[in-house]
Chain A
Amino acid sequence: MLLIILSALPFPKLPYYQAMDTPPLPPTNDAPRGSLACVGMGMTLGSHLTPLARSQIEQADVVFAALSDNIVELWLQRMHPDVRSLQPYYAEGKSRMKTYRQWVELMMTEVRAGKNVCGVFYGHPGIFAWSPHKAIEVARAEGFKAHMEPGISAEDCLYADLGIDPGRFGCQHFEASQLLFYERRIDPTGYLVLWQVGLVGDLSLKRFSTGAAYRQVLVDVLSEDYPLDHEVIVYRGATLPIQKPRVRRMALRDLPGAELTAEETVVLPPSAPLKQNLAVRERLAALDKEASIA
């Protein structure tokens, strides 16, 4: 009876992390139930893959791969006999959103066929990545087991290589285009990390890089909060263990003219000191005083 009621309920339109307590639908027959694990490969070949992510890969029936380095993909192929690259679904002139929906569909087709599927994404599978979150949401909504294993992301490498602690002044992360398409509030007293600057401002979703003129628009937006001679850091972490991180420092005004690949991240250190909140401090001091009197 309870099962009938449960299965009659519409699925809540919630992100999967809020819908986690939704009990999976009971299997309709004895066919093997598919499952989905989206795992991170980390950034650097050989250095970052967690034992658990590796085990997910090895124990899967089918592995799908979205990796930023083709040599890392060759390494992954050593871990499983059926690794299917998602790279060929990208195409110049084709909307990336369409590509990402295809990725979800490719993984779900195998899950629905009863396979244990592992999606392997470079870095952390849940950081600035649409399809792993979406695939897990879809799989759970259809009653399959699905989860994510974290990985070491470009963000993690950036903190280590640039010596930044996001807790010191606070740290905002944005996909660079979001700063152009939407009105956002930047806090220049903390760090600002911009992702996908190489394709900033691409409204078509069909290009893999935009040019200096698009980065100039970004610089113009940033110049509302930062002086043009403010230092920016263009960062590329190592994807192969024979590489060193690449760190380039330049003035904000020079960003449009710099060569920038799709796999670089731009960091703006704080340009202004933290400002004391005197009103709240006074309130806290009053509380302390009350407490010591009591």
Chain B
Amino acid sequence: MSDTIELLEAIGQNATLRHASADQLASILEQANASAALRSAVAAGDSSLLSAEFGHKPNKAPQITNVPGHEEDESDDDGDDKPHHPSEPGHSQPHKHTPHKQ
């Protein structure tokens, strides 16, 4: 089975694939041995079907806040400046440090 993330990247980068019809893309994905989840998401035009492969983990989108008295509020309401490390810190990798030269 092909790697779904690599296939998505390839589709996103290719003008023909990015704008192909669902039918065209479905047959290309069939030949490319795409995962069942990716193929059904394309066929149904419903990307939520990809969650079968990656788990249903919707991300949150908000970023800006405009509440009076909050937006540039430097004083932390509960005086807690330390970052709270949530139980699952969400590091995709432990602090394994691979140096990348700049």
Contact = CB atoms under 8 A, between A and B. Distances in A.
Interface stretch (A124-132, A221-229, A252-260): A124-132
Interface string B64-100: 1111101101001100011110101111110111111
B31 interface: no
B57 A70 contact: yes
B86 A91 contact: yes
Given A47-B13, A70-B54, A177-B67, A82 B95 contact: yes
A46 B100 contact: no
Interface residues of A, number: 67
Interface in B1-40: 5, 8-13, 17-18, 25, 38
B66 A77 contact: no
A242 B25 contact: yes
A85 B92 contact: yes
B12 A243 contact: no
Contacts of B93: 81-83
A71 B83 CA distance: 26
A128 B8 contact: no
B14 to A, nearest CB: 8
Nearest to A134: B72
A208 B61 CA distance: 9
A69 B8 CA distance: 13
Given A74-B54, A90-B60, A177-B67, A85 B91 contact: yes
A88 B96 contact: no
A50 interface: no
Interface residues of B, number: 53
A61 interface: yes
A109 B81 CA distance: 12
A181 to B, nearest CB: 5
Contacts of B8: 45-46, 71, 75, 240-242
Given A46-B10, A67-B59, A243-B47, A81 B66 contact: no
Given A59-B101, A60-B100, A68-B59, A87 B90 contact: yes
A156 interface: no
Contact of B64 (A86, A90, A195): A195
Q: Which 8 pairs from chain A and chain B are nearest by CB? A: A46-B12, A241-B12, A88-B90, A85-B90, A46-B9, A47-B12, A68-B61, A178-B66
Interface of B: 5, 8-13, 17-18, 25, 38, 41-42, 45, 47, 50, 54, 57-68, 70-71, 73, 76-77, 81-84, 86, 88-93, 95-102
8 contacts: A44-B12, A46-B11, A70-B54, A84-B89, A97-B71, A181-B68, A205-B67, A208-B62
Given A106-B83, A177-B67, 5 more contacts: A59-B102, A61-B97, A66-B63, A89-B90, A203-B67
